[in-house]
Structure 1
């Protein structure tokens, strides 16, 4: 007879699974989290960082299941020291993130923030000559990353008439669209970030690399905020070297109201929700529930990271 572990869904939503004991806790409610941790064996983790102190409050914790792919918000070393398994679910949010990346590209190209503001102020027509937007067709889009999200986005962009280049950690000599990073930046009218945050990728797009982009280029980031040096991005946007940015992620999250990026009309922003669709949640819970059953029966976990 197997005993179903108690699961903590660390997010502000209710969810049930047949035969499964699930309790919920909003990410911002640390007091409730402390109360619940001693009795849980599994955490379904979204974004609020999970560290050694949290793990020590949960002596029976056996699995931290990331609802998503990036595990930079989990202290992997602390989990390994305590014998706690960590798993993720790569690709389950790929469709949503790819679509949001496209959304941000188009919003930046068509000056959506400015047009929205002017329309609400009753000044949307006639538009000034400086407000002419652009199209994706005929432009070169550089993708940082060669995974599933980038692959889906590439198909869509090419169907819309864009030229797509990409870079990845491993060279792809068999694909004529592959470029070294600096060469990709020099050629890209739009660059879109689809790589994980690691020590190697922290501030990968720094002041020097942002300067390689052609004048008027657009930067889109739906991956992790610290991949881009925000101070350098603000400088490049304010100076006019970059034409715009579409950002779903920031160096500090939630980003503060005084972040200088939020004061720029050529920046479109979202609060780290590129992945957040009903369809994504359905795919997340399918994998998460399967891993709870596997944990209970002693079988190998899907997508185990540690």
Structure 2
């Protein structure tokens, strides 16, 4: 079965017919689509036009959780199954969220620039950072990533609160969204992008955060209104942000967030570890075996 790994990655297993294609190489991708029976998909959006060029396609396997980059209706209309793999990147994403919190609090971007310019010591007193211990961290989401991160933060000495779509009033750590924001020194996003969560953290909700708060996002960029985030940083209400995701991806070089020393950025790679790839391929290979045998797919979305 011909499998198209749509990413700058490698996959070598005896007996597996896998071709790879960079997400930036549109010409090669178009040339490979007609023979593809399975696409192992990462981030570059898959559209109805892509499905039209792939008459043999039977399965789109998301390497990750979020399927907002796949035209699910177009896939269903053409009889193409879609599956994801929830939780397989949870450890990596939770660790990255913690990394971004620490980097924003300790002003790593500014210190890095100062050090490379020969001004790193003695340090600028204005760049004195803070610690996670003793702060309140609010997590948007109550899934596996948020649960893992909650344990890490508690071990460091933070007070951890969370909110979720399903109210959990019996859990003393659960709060309604606005109450959580009012109580938080750091807020970290761990929810999918839907019509309801688009710009969930808008100008009004960012204003609810405590003065000097830090915002971290390793989920989906459009959960945060980027213009409102820039304004909150400009005003000094927020002290910093750590962002692995953006409203437009790949992020445009002119995005004002990229020019700020109070913002730590990464290119949607919170999940990207050797260990995550191993877990991804384990599920992806199993679903190809199930597709060939006619068995039910793991984590089928459509």
Specify the alignment match of 1:124 in structure 2: 120
Q: Distance in 2 between matches of 1:199 and 1:248?
A: 21
Specify the alignment match of 1:29 in structure 2: 25
Q: Distance in 2 between matches of 1:17 and 1:195?
A: 34
SS state of the match for residue 212, structure 1?
coil
2:233 to 234, 237, 255: 237
Specify the alignment match of 2:283 in structure 1: 287
Specify the alignment match of 1:41 in structure 2: 37
Once the two structures are TM-superposed, the CA of residue 74 in structure 1 deviates from its matched residue by: 0.1
- Residues 1:9 and 2:5 are matched in the alignment: yes
SS state of the match for residue 141, structure 1?
strand
Q: Distance in 2 between matches of 1:11 and 1:263?
A: 28
SS state of the match for residue 195, structure 2?
coil
5+ residue gaps, structure 2, are none
Conserved 8 A contact 1:17-1:289? no
Conserved 8 A contact 1:42-1:63? yes
Larger displacement relative to structure 2 (212-221 or 33-42): 33-42
Once the two structures are TM-superposed, the CA of residue 13 in structure 1 deviates from its matched residue by: 1.9
SS state of the match for residue 220, structure 1?
strand
TM-score for both structures, normalised by structure 1: 0.98
Once the two structures are TM-superposed, the CA of residue 18 in structure 1 deviates from its matched residue by: 3.2
SS state of the match for residue 249, structure 2?
coil
TM-score for both structures, normalised by structure 2: 0.99
Over residues 219-267 of structure 1, what are the superposed CA-to-partner deviations in whole Å (9 max), with x where a residue is unaligned? 0000000000000000000110100000000011111121111111110
Once the two structures are TM-superposed, the CA of residue 29 in structure 1 deviates from its matched residue by: 0.8
1:204 to 200, 204, 208: 200
Specify the alignment match of 1:254 in structure 2: 250
State the Cα RMSD in Å: 0.7
Once the two structures are TM-superposed, the CA of residue 16 in structure 1 deviates from its matched residue by: 2.1
Q: Distance in 2 between matches of 1:18 and 1:195?
A: 37
- Residues 1:195 and 2:191 are matched in the alignment: yes
Number of residues of Structure 1 aligned to a counterpart in Structure 2:
302
Specify the alignment match of 2:140 in structure 1: 144
Q: Distance in 2 between matches of 1:63 and 1:134?
A: 47
Specify the alignment match of 1:114 in structure 2: 110
Q: Distance in 2 between matches of 1:143 and 1:13?
A: 31
Q: Distance in 2 between matches of 1:167 and 1:104?
A: 20
5+ residue gaps, structure 1, are none
Conserved 8 A contact 1:190-1:220? yes
Q: Distance in 1 between matches of 2:124 and 2:278?
A: 45
Once the two structures are TM-superposed, the CA of residue 174 in structure 1 deviates from its matched residue by: 2.2
1:271 to 237, 249, 267: 267
Over residues 128-182 of structure 1, what are the superposed CA-to-partner deviations in whole Å (9 max), with x where a residue is unaligned? 3221110010000000000000000000000000000000000112211000000
Specify the alignment match of 1:174 in structure 2: 170
